[in-house]
Amino acid sequence: MPQVALLRAHYFDVKGVFKTDFPDNPPKAFNYTGAPLTANLFTTKGTRLSKIAFNSTVELVIQDTNLLSVESHPFHLHGFNFFVVGTGIGNFNSAKDPTTYNLVDPPERNTVGVSTGGWAAIRFRADNPDGPGKDQSVRPPPKDLPQC
């Protein structure tokens, strides 16, 4: 776990807290809904993030596994509502599953449950303030911001 909060590291330019190389796709694809737990999942330890351009539209597919147990995982984004454009069971197929998306009237949510062995596709506009302009910037932290 990071010893320094991510926003603190961002505000005060603290190096070594996170890397900005979070991959757009899984580094090693495998059968997320059927791989035996003994499989090498190529996990790594680290805090990584993606910097997203202000006001861009982002689509994120959340893939659950059934490697440990049967359960539904709630997923949310801090500071955002999003549209759930698709859900399914099994491994997400980028060639066929997007054709089933509801792009006409998708439900707007702040949390989506992704069931064991299933997936959910969400879309949102990255309009949280983090741009270069005054109206696009997060206010600086207060001078009396407590230390972690």
8/10 Cα distance (integer angstroms): 5
pLDDT tens-digit series, residues 57-78: 999 999 988 766 667 789 998 8
What span, in angstroms and rounded, lies between the C-alpha atoms of 116 and 65?
A: 6
> 45 and 19 in contact (C-beta within 8 Å)?
no
Specify the pTM: 0.80
Q: How confident is the model at residue 1 (pLDDT cuts 50, 70, 90)?
A: low
Question: According to the model, what pLDDT value does residue 100 have?
Answer: 97
Confidence of residue 35 (pLDDT cuts 50, 70, 90): low
At residue 106, the pLDDT reads: 97
* Residue 56 CA from chain centroid, whole number: 15
**Sign (positive or negative) of CA dihedral 126, 128, 129, 135:** positive
**Helix and strand tally (H, E) in the chain?**
1, 6
Using an 8 Å Cβ cutoff, are 55 and 23 in contact?
no
Burial degree of 120 (CB within 10 A; 0-12, 13-18, 19+): buried
